[in-house]
Amino acid sequence: MREQVQLECIVRDLERSFEEAWDVFANYEWVTMSRHGDPSYEESLRSYIKSIYARLRFAYEVLGLNDMLGELKAGFETHRDNLSAVDYDEVHGGPYSPPLAYLGRFFRPLKASVPSRQEVEAAAEIQQLERILLGTPKLVRDRGLEPESEKDVRKAMYDLLLHLYPDVVREVPIAKQSKVYKPDIGIPTLKAAIEYKFGTSEQEVKRALGGIYEDVAGYAGSTDWRVFFAVIYMTEPFLNQAQVEAEFRMSKVDRSWKPLLVVGKGIRIIKTNKGIESRGQDA
């Protein structure tokens, strides 16, 4: 974890250095062509290139990529004696710095291995949403509700999420050839869809899981939703999180889906020929 954070800092710093170095090169190339003879740009460019090279070496050493490190060192030796070289790109047109271009080849794979700021922020927002969903039982209880179905739980959570995510929507249809699928709750800005299930027995929870597997197939290929939470509200701990996660893996459920098992107060009202029966925590 520490090495990953260190690598992210190096990549962010290198990204800025490359941008600044190319700016210096542009000024240096202009000074060279106009024959102003200002040596400060050349020295600044050489300094940037040496600094970038040193940090690239360090990053590859931290990652233990010895083959790539050896290639980086060997190739840089061919540029070391002329770090202020200027060449012309026949394909794209315009001058460029061969040493900077060479080092850029080794920076690109490092940059690709580190998530962007936008990706980091998006992941943090998804984690926050997950924490909110895990708190479903308390949030329902705080509203003074004793849910009798997933509809009750879903409405209570929608009412809450509406204050946190103004764009939250309910039952947005996803049309497929034979059926229209509707996520219970969707948050478009996060591309996150939420399905709620309600169970007052182990059999009900297992049936709910079967319904989730059908939803997985129904939402496949949708570009509107990228992250899916299946929140299973149980009136007793009929199954645990590890069991369901293992079942998801064995069933090869897409990794974009995450089950969340929560336990809270609730009761199922069942109408029979003999009248109304209840089943649940308080039954």
Please state, in angstroms and rounded to a whole number, the distance separating the CA atoms of residues 282 and 266. 7
Please state, in angstroms and rounded to a whole number, the distance separating the CA atoms of residues 149 and 164. 24
Could you tell me the two tokens for 144?
Answer: 């003074």
| Those residues with Cβ within 8 angstroms of residue 131's Cβ, 6 or more apart along the chain or in another chain | none
What per-residue confidence (pLDDT) applies to 182?
Answer: 75
Angle at 170 between CA 165 and CA 171, to 5 degrees: 145
Strands 192-199 and 185-187, bridge-based pairing: antiparallel
* CB distance 197 to 211 below 8 Å: yes
Q: Is the Cα dihedral 35, 36, 38, 43 positive or negative?
A: negative
Q: How far is CA 248 from CA 76, 104, 183, 209, 244, in A?
A: 48, 41, 19, 9, 6
**Which residues are 267's β-sheet partners?**
280
What per-residue confidence (pLDDT) applies to 273?
Answer: 61
Domain topology for 117-280: Restriction Endonuclease (3.40.91)
Tens of pLDDT, residue by residue, the chain (283 residues)? 566 666 778 888 888 999 998 888 887 766 665 555 556 778 888 999 999 999 999 888 888 889 999 999 999 999 999 998 888 877 666 788 999 999 999 999 888 877 777 777 888 899 999 999 999 999 999 999 999 999 999 999 999 999 999 999 987 766 554 555 677 899 999 999 999 999 999 999 999 988 888 878 777 777 778 899 999 999 999 999 999 999 888 888 888 999 999 999 998 776 666 655 555 554 4
